Chains A and B, each alone.
Chain A
């Protein structure tokens, strides 16, 4: 069974400024969990805490019930992988080389690179449709290709729990869907637990089994998208008036923001008339 990753009363921050205080969260094994929230709500910080990039000032993150800090780092890396928001790579690195570096935690003193590593890397590249780029240099690729290569690297690490910090940022809508479909496929076919931070609420609602809504370092809602993505919670977490309608494609909740100039009877606006107060539906 997939091990359970859990944050227990964690306080996280950088230096003196706490961003998250006393937060509890259990990542549902085998599901896709999406963390959403306004800017500076602590989403990325939470993800960094879960993947031990930052040490909690209080509380602990546990994996299979044991403090993740007390477990051997390389061992943890075979179970939990993180793709940061803006990863860096050395100049001139080829796609095959980069994806292959995901195998690092599986190698050791007595286990050097083997043909099974090659197979796993090849499978990761096939899954992300990057196998034809193998000999290309990373800097010569488009943004969408590059992101698929990074995800291939994360898949080559072959973690049971995959954390991704805004994997769709800087991508156009086509490539956003492509990346999310890829992760969904991985989750449904392999049972990989996926935890990611997303900005787009509608994509989050569509792809998430569980949605975690954060605001000012706290979790304000945690459950299925239908339970969590209500007009009230959107107003509270994002300070945004919106209508929630069913997504015409798959019925998940869809957030339609209202704004200052639109919203009367939801179709017409009066030219030249300013609505200083948002229209509350």
Chain B
């Protein structure tokens, strides 16, 4: 191996540039963590029974009264935890999809992966009379099956990316049609339950479904961390990635499987929660703005979106009914999708 030693060049500007990049990302992470803590405090303290901050801290330290313990630790904390975890899972899933396929439209909620989970879950609920655990399993299976179908269809000819998105959008419409059919022939009461599930809500938080998401994240986060270098190589296109020694096709497949598992698990736990996977990473890229992967900021933004959405849906919308968080995430995501579609042709980046 030849070494570039003979011509000494000043490496100081490089070190400085790298320091600047990581400083910027670190600052973003700090701000996001701070925001998340504030939202978490509000979520735990505010409600029909509101606590002061000292009371909240005391309760969290295990010194609360019986009713405080019940409200904070048994009702609000599971809900908050689940919102954070699925936010992280959806965001990382979307970030992986969008990075690996190099297309901002390639997120599991746009290309029908979460749609597949929904259709399977609704099929289980309405036709097979599944309970909540079986429904979750059905949702997981549905996401995996639909992702496999899209991958196999898009794989022919070897080109992924753009084709993957087009085929995914087509599949999403098919799945939507199936959903419509299932709902239209269902009993009205059953259909309403299914519809609520379809919007997505963290109100069904139990330590049981929380632990499923938590365990999956604990298993997959190190794997994603290890894939860091490969992801950075893949960002430069398949040709350069291959030239740098990354098996582009195989790496993409492995990372897509991880991304599908994340989206499927999160959907199984809370329903499809529209657009969280779609918007989290692009917001992170915009905020950090260095062309890096920004996976940690993306995960934090995902968690922030789901927790804020759940808080707004619970407390800030008028009406007696407590609304599912998916309505809020949808209200954030849909305008972003429109904006992306309206501007992507100008820059030519999305295709």
Asked whether A269 is an interface residue with its Cβ less than 8 Å from the other chain, the reply is: no
Residues of A within 8 Å of B61, CB to CB, are: none
Given contacts A81-B243, A94-B291, A101-B244, contact A160 B2 (CB under 8 A): yes
> Which of B1-39 touch A at CB < 8 Å?
1-5, 7-11, 13-18, 20-21
Asked whether B292 is an interface residue with its Cβ less than 8 Å from the other chain, the reply is: yes
Residues of A within 8 Å of B102, CB to CB, are: 88
Given contacts A119-B5, A125-B9, A131-B13, contact A104 B239 (CB under 8 A): no
- Distance, CA A17 to CA B139, complexed state (A): 42
Let me know if B289 and A84 touch, CB within 8 A: no
Asked whether B211 is an interface residue with its Cβ less than 8 Å from the other chain, the reply is: no
Let me know if A127 and B13 touch, CB within 8 A: no
Let me know if A87 and B232 touch, CB within 8 A: no
Asked whether A121 is an interface residue with its Cβ less than 8 Å from the other chain, the reply is: yes
Interface centre among B18, B236, B247 (most CB of A within 10 A): B236
Residues of B within 8 Å of A192, CB to CB, are: 2
- Distance, CA A102 to CA B241, complexed state (A): 10
Let me know if B18 and A123 touch, CB within 8 A: no
- Distance, CA A138 to CA B290, complexed state (A): 10
> Which of A172-212 touch B at CB < 8 Å?
190-192
Residues of B within 8 Å of A52, CB to CB, are: 242
Residues of A within 8 Å of B349, CB to CB, are: 91
Let me know if B237 and A104 touch, CB within 8 A: no
- Total number of A residues with any Cβ neighbor in B under 8 Å: 56
Shortest A186–chain B CB gap in Å is 10
- Distance, CA A54 to CA B254, complexed state (A): 20
- Distance, CA A77 to CA B240, complexed state (A): 10
Given contacts A122-B10, A122-B11, A123-B7, contact A94 B17 (CB under 8 A): yes
Given contacts A90-B235, A97-B292, A104-B229, contact A119 B11 (CB under 8 A): yes
Asked whether A4 is an interface residue with its Cβ less than 8 Å from the other chain, the reply is: no
- Total number of B residues with any Cβ neighbor in A under 8 Å: 41
> Which of B243-281 touch A at CB < 8 Å?
243-247
Asked whether A107 is an interface residue with its Cβ less than 8 Å from the other chain, the reply is: yes
Contact of A88 among B2, B16, B237, B247 (CB under 8 A): B237
Given contacts A76-B245, A82-B243, A105-B244, contact A118 B290 (CB under 8 A): no
Shortest A166–chain B CB gap in Å is 13
- Distance, CA A115 to CA B18, complexed state (A): 12
Let me know if B5 and A82 touch, CB within 8 A: no
Let me know if B239 and A82 touch, CB within 8 A: yes
Let me know if A131 and B9 touch, CB within 8 A: yes
Shortest B338–chain A CB gap in Å is 20
Let me know if A104 and B245 touch, CB within 8 A: yes
- Not counting A83-B243, A101-B236, a sample of 17 additional A-B residue pairs whose C-beta atoms are within 8 angstroms of each other reads A48-B239, A53-B242, A78-B245, A89-B235, A92-B285, A92-B290, A92-B291, A93-B291, A97-B291, A115-B11, A118-B11, A122-B9, A124-B4, A125-B14, A131-B9, A131-B13, A134-B17
Please give me the 7 A-B residue pairs with the lowest Cβ-Cβ distance, nearest first: A93-B291, A77-B245, A74-B245, A126-B9, A122-B9, A96-B17, A84-B239
Q: Could you give 7 example pairs across A and B, Cβ below 8 Å?
A: A83-B243, A94-B291, A101-B232, A102-B244, A118-B11, A134-B13, A135-B17
